[in-house]
Every structure is written in C-alpha cells, then in structure tokens.
Structure 1
Amino acid sequence: MWRFLILKASSRRLPNDVYVELVDLLFAALPAVLIMTAAMAGMGALIAVRNNDPLLAGLAAVGVVAGLARAGVILAYRRRGTAQTSMARNLTRGEAKIWERRYATACLAFAAVLGTFNVRALATGDLLDHMLVTGLVFGYGAGLVTRLAMRPAICTACLMLAAMPTALALAVQVGGGGGLHNQLAYGGQALLVAAFALGSLETVMWTYRTTVGHLLTKRNFADMARQDALTGLPNRLLLRERFDDDILDIDAAGRLLAIHYLDLDRFKPVNDRYGHPVGDALLRAVGERLTRVLRARDTAARLGGDEFVIVQTDVAQPEEARMLAHRIVRTIAAPYMIEGHEIVIGVSVGIAVAPEDGVDLEQLASRADAALYQAKANGRGTIAFWREVEEAAPLAAAVA
C-alpha cells in the first residue's frame, strides 16, 4: 500500500496535460459500467427473490443507482467534451480534479454497496448464492483493474471495498459447519478472492507506470515537433499555434499584435571564422537573450538560419512595438563570450502590426520581412515598419 500512496503523491507532480489525459481515460469505460450495473441488477434481484430478503433487494437497488450515477457522470463528461475542439477536452487541471472526484465518488459508492451486498448474500448459507456472489466480485475486480489502473488510488480503494469484505465473509463460512469439504471450499474461495485482490495491485501499478510512460513519451515527441532543435525556441508549427490563439485577442480587447522579423547582422563571418559549432552556440545564446527580453505571453521563434520571429501581444499602440525592437537591438548587440572568443554581432528588425497590416500570419510575416529588407538597406541595427515601407513606395515611384 505504501507504493500506491507514493503513486498517488506522484500524480501531483505530473505535467498538467498528462494528468488531464489520465483523467480523460476514466471516462472511456461506459459499456463496462453499464454491464456491471446490469449484472448487479440481475443477480441482486435473483438472490433477493430466492431468499425473500428486503435488505438484499434494497442493497441491489442502491447498487444499481450508484452504477447509473457513474454512467451519468461519464455521459455528462462526454457531453461537455462534444462542445470542445482542443486536445484533452480543453480541461484545466482544476477542472480535471473536479471530474475525477465526481467519478471517484460514484465508483466508491458502487464498490461499497457491492461489498456490503456480498456480505449479506454470503450469510444466507445458500451455495448457489455464494457462487453468484463470487462470480460477481471476480468480474467486477477484473473490469476495475483493466479500466481504472490509470488512477491507482481510486482503483485500489474500490477493489478493497468490494473484495475484502467478500473474502472475510467467505472466511466466516469456514466455521459454519457443513463438513470438511465445504469448509475447505470456503477457505479456498476466501484465499482466492483476497489473493486476487492483493495480486491485482501489482498489475495496477504496472499498468499505471506503463500508461504514464507512454503519455510522457508522446508529450515529449509533441514538444520536439514544436521546438527548434538547436535553440529550444518554438518552431514554425508552435509559432502558428500560438499566433492563432493570440490573434483572437485583438478582436476581443481591441489591442494590437506586432510581428517582429529579425535577421542577425555579421553572423556569417562568425561562422566562416570560428566554425559552425561556435555559430550554433551563438544562435543558442541569441535565443536565450530573446527569451529574457520578452514577456511570458510573447513568443520568440526561430525560422531557420539566423532568422527569428517574435509575436508581441497586447500592444496598445505601434510605438510599444518600436520600443521592444530597440530593446532587442541593444540586447543582441552586447558582446558574447563563446569558447574563449569575444563576438559582437547585431540585428535588424522589420515590424508588421495586426490588424492594420493584416491578420494572417503568412501575410504579416511577409510584410515584416519586407520591412526588414528596408531596415537593412537603412543600415545595420535599424528598425523599420511595414507601413513606413508602404508609404514610401508611392513617393519613390513618383520621384523616379
């Protein structure tokens, strides 16, 4: 049990998306829940009628209600999910905890009723009832371990609530007479139920660890697909995803969004003089500086080579974009010490602002890139806006 307490505590350290997906897996077991509820209804009614026992009938009815409540929680979760389009049903960690508690409450209630029902049924002294009860608890335990192992604390508690009272009630029958053969049969059944329950805990642990390992691996691959391998910054895919989220805010809040297109000055001579390993280290250092100069809600991405793009969100006016660009120019221009070499480079920045310059990422990036060419034409370490390039074009054509 100590190992399962450790597993329960470790859930708090899981990444949010992995924890949410583990909770999501709980709600995939609707057919199994309905089958178990039907089995409880049928066998419970049969045993209650055979013994004319109102208490057994009442326990069976409560068990059916608990089973239907668990099915209802699953259906409510799925209905919520149909309104969502993002991964893991768009749950936050806090929301996932609420849904997990709801599921656990219904699941624990059913297990407790099943255990109590079995104890009462085993007290009847009828061998057929005892056989039905044993089959019911084994079927429940097998389904539980298969379906709930990804949440070991819930699975273990439910298994103990259902199986251990049954095993104890079977053990009590050993002293109830009926001959040596019956006593051995009841003793063997009690040991079998208890051993099955306790032995299943190892299966639960293995399944949980395997599932978590699979989800973590999937998460790592997903992260790798969205990150630049050299700098660790977002790549084009993650840049697109974040931009699609950020662009919605300019309509909701009336704020602006700025795209900064960056190209390093004097980077090629560094590669030529010191070699690619130094050049790669320099690009990593640039990425780190860009990350430090930005706010947490802004995004710096590497497109390839020495080209970077920054998405600046929550911009009140274009001058805020200019101020950030100047900070970037100053930050990148500070000397670097790499492998014993002091290296000085610079950066030029082209800027496009949404929505006035467009709302599509490709269009904004293209216009910011055009502004970057103008900035480089003006001199290294300079800044240019697309609107300035656009306004200057007709004037240049008229002069020509």
Structure 2
Amino acid sequence: MASLFATRMPATIMSALFLLVATLVSVRSRDGAASLLLALGVAASGWRLWLLYRGRARCAAAALSRADARELERRFGASYLAFAVLFGCFAARALMLPIPSLHLPVAILVVGYAAGAVATTALRPLIAGGSVLLGVLPPVVVLAFSAEPDHAVAALCLIALLTGGLRSLTKRHLAQERQSATSSAFAVLARRDHLTGLMNRFALAEAIASFDPAGPSVGSYALHYLDLDGFKQINDRLGHAAGDALLCAVGERLTASAQRGDAVARLGGDEFVVMQVDASSSTVIAERADDIVRWLSAPYRINGKVVSVGASIGSSRSSSRACEMNSLLEEADAALRHNKLSRDQRRLWPNGYQLLARA
C-alpha cells in the first residue's frame, strides 16, 4: 500500500490546481455546465483524498487488515476514474468556450494531469491507463474537430503525448513486475534452506512469531530438535552427494508427517527442528516425538542403495508466543544431548528421548 499512499501529495496538488483553473473558467465564462463539472470534480477529488488520508492513518495505527487494504484500493480506483471522467468532460467543455485566454491554462492542466497519472499510479496500470484516456481523449476530440488549424495541431500533440505516456506506462509496469518477481524470489531464498527447501532459522522464527495462541494448542507449542545418528558414517562411506540426498529425504519425510500449522526447518548439517502447534499436553508432545523418530528410522533408498540412520530428539514446550525461540531451542538441544550421552537411553532407542516441559 506504500505506493498508493505516496500519491497523497500529488493528488492534493492536482486537486488544488483543478479547483483553481476550474473556478477561473466558471467565473469568467459563467457557464452552467462548467460550474456543474467543477462541483462534481471537487467532490470526486475530495473523496479520493479522504480515502488516501484516512487509509494512511489507519495503516499507521495498524488497523488496516489485508481485506481492508483491498477494499481501499478498489475504492481508490473508483474515485480516481470518476475524477478522470469529470476532468476530461470539464477540459472539453472549457475548450469549447469562446474565451481563448482560458484555453492555455486548461491545456497545461490536461498535460500535467496525464503526466501525474502516469508517474504516480504506474504500479496500477488499469487505473493509470484508464484515467489518462478518460482525462485526455475528450479535449483531444474537441480540439480535433475545431475549425481552428492551431487546435488541430494541439490535438496531434496531445495524441503524441498520450501515446508516449501509455508506452512509458507499459514499460514501467513490466519493469516493476520483473523487479517484484526478483524481490519475491530473493525473499523466498532468504527464508529457505538451500539444500532441502525447508524453512531456515529465520523462517522458523517468523512462523513462531505468527503462531496463533488462540488455536487448538491453547496458547502453547512445542519444538522438537533432532539430528541423525550415523549420518557422518554414511556421508564418509557413500560421499557427500549421497549425504545431501539423505538430508533431502529426511526433510521430505518430516514435511509429509507434519500436521496442519506445523513448521519444519533445517538449521544446518543434520540438525532439524519441527514446530508442533498441537502441544496441549506432555503426552501429545511425547507421542509426536516418538512418531518422528520412528518415521525417520525407516530405511532410505539413496542412489540405488538402501541405508538406515537413527535419530535423536529433544523437545521443549512453550506456554505462550512470548517465549523466545532461542531459549526453547537451547532446552530442546539440552534434552537431545542428554539423550545422546546416556548409554541406557541409547539402548532403548528409538523411544529414548527426553522431554523438557515449561509450566
């Protein structure tokens, strides 16, 4: 919405200039049609400015939801096009009046309006293109059918400027689309593990920050921190390519076993984290940890060979979103190391995990 709110000052300036020129035309000509178009144009312009300033205030107060933003943009487009229709009709009417001294300020206003529409609303090509056509074509028609030769030349100039403006608008919009696509791609890459495609630490932190405490977990979630037992031996024996393929396969299993709302991330090496949103009790968390170990312990087929690895896991539970991710990961990691260092727990694998729960 930033580009939309950035049109506030140009829209304010255009509204003031329209009021000034239209008032001059109305007073000098005493034409009823011009006066009516002046009143309607001011009303449409005021509607547009009210939408922009009110929307900006709501956005600053964080009271503008996504649905509200879409509705604001729709209303803004309607107000913009409504003003364009009235502006074009007013300019055409003013050029029809037999007062040559008024034609120059009207012509300047038409050119300024078209340039401003292209410059400020280029990111919304339907609004920009529509408003330019609606605002410029009526005076072009009036000038083209005038008996004065200089009016015909002015019409040709406006047509040339209109064509150039629409071409510039198209190029700018395509360039912006390419830039947006590139930015989106980089944004995705910044939140994804380059090997497995899973979330990275940054994306996991975002998932935790957006966790809804009013969901089925009743204000709590769990983090399962795990690594693979025997991964180094497989990596050394079969090579790094096989090791990478195994990590991808592990990521696929974790993703396939994830429940709705869960998040799966790779922190690096053979270390993974599963965010469990249904953490209503220690029993539910323990059962999920047990399932994760069991899923990962089934054999894998890597480059035509069957390999098996174990998994060690530690879990921690948060009572609210306010709990910091790093502290929860430290608790889960401590539980994981406790499990790996305990020889007795190793014998009981795959059910040998330690659960640390927060009150």
Q: Is TM-score (shorter-chain normalized) higher than 0.5?
A: yes
1:57 aligns with 2:35: yes
Q: How many residues of Structure 1 are paired with residues of Structure 2 in the alignment?
A: 352
The Cα of 1:271 is off from its aligned counterpart by 0.6
Structure 1 CA distance, aligned partners of 2:202 and 2:274? 14
Larger displacement relative to structure 2 (106-115 or 59-68):
59-68
State the one-letter code of the partner of 1:147. Answer: T
Structure 2 CA distance, aligned partners of 1:173 and 1:345? 86
| Counterpart position of 1:348 | 312
State the one-letter code of the partner of 1:55. Answer: A
| Counterpart position of 2:76 | 103
Alignment of 1:16-165 (within 5 A): 23-84=1-62, 91-92=65-66, 94-165=67-138
Match among 299, 303, 315 for residue 339 of structure 1 = 303
Structure 2 CA distance, aligned partners of 1:320 and 1:72? 52
Structure 2 CA distance, aligned partners of 1:173 and 1:383? 92
State the one-letter code of the partner of 1:225. Answer: A
Task: Please tell me whether the aligned partners of residues 217 and 279 of structure 2 are also in contact (alpha carbons under 8 angstroms).
Answer: no
Task: Please tell me whether the aligned partners of residues 352 and 385 of structure 1 are also in contact (alpha carbons under 8 angstroms).
Answer: no
Among the aligned pairs, what percent are the same residue? 36
| Counterpart position of 2:271 | 307
| Counterpart position of 2:350 | 381
SS of residue in 2 equivalent to 1:353? strand
The Cα of 1:252 is off from its aligned counterpart by 10
Larger displacement relative to structure 2 (98-107 or 310-319):
310-319
Task: Please tell me whether the aligned partners of residues 122 and 130 of structure 1 are also in contact (alpha carbons under 8 angstroms).
Answer: yes
Structure 2 CA distance, aligned partners of 1:78 and 1:90? 9
SS of residue in 1 equivalent to 2:274? strand
1:293 aligns with 2:257: yes
The Cα of 1:37 is off from its aligned counterpart by 0.5
Match among 246, 255, 265 for residue 282 of structure 1 = 246
Structure 2 CA distance, aligned partners of 1:171 and 1:363? 74
Task: Please tell me whether the aligned partners of residues 250 and 355 of structure 1 are also in contact (alpha carbons under 8 angstroms).
Answer: no
Structure 2 CA distance, aligned partners of 1:33 and 1:253? 48
State the one-letter code of the partner of 2:47. Answer: A
CA distance 1:160–1:154, change in 2 (3 Å): same
Structure 2 CA distance, aligned partners of 1:252 and 1:82? 31
The Cα of 1:121 is off from its aligned counterpart by 0.8
Structure 1 CA distance, aligned partners of 2:118 and 2:192? 37
What is the root-mean-square deviation of aligned Cα atoms in Å?
A: 2.1
Structure 1 CA distance, aligned partners of 2:119 and 2:268? 46
- Which one has a larger percent helix, Structure 1 or Structure 2? 1
The Cα of 1:55 is off from its aligned counterpart by 2.3
Normalized against structure 1, the TM-score is what? Answer: 0.83
Task: Please tell me whether the aligned partners of residues 300 and 310 of structure 1 are also in contact (alpha carbons under 8 angstroms).
Answer: yes
Gaps of 5+ in 1: 1-22, 175-182, 391-400
Deviations 1:191-227 (A, max 9, x none): 2212322332211111111112222222222222221
Normalized against structure 2, the TM-score is what? Answer: 0.92
Gaps of 5+ in 2: none
State the one-letter code of the partner of 2:144. Answer: A
SS of residue in 2 equivalent to 1:310? strand
Task: Please tell me whether the aligned partners of residues 348 and 382 of structure 1 are also in contact (alpha carbons under 8 angstroms).
Answer: no
| Counterpart position of 2:192 | 227
Structure 1 CA distance, aligned partners of 2:120 and 2:196? 41
SS of residue in 2 equivalent to 1:210? helix
The Cα of 1:146 is off from its aligned counterpart by 0.5
Structure 1 CA distance, aligned partners of 2:12 and 2:307? 69
State the one-letter code of the partner of 1:290. Answer: L
SS of residue in 2 equivalent to 1:249? coil
The Cα of 1:184 is off from its aligned counterpart by 2.2
Structure 2 CA distance, aligned partners of 1:347 and 1:272? 18
SS of residue in 2 equivalent to 1:125? coil
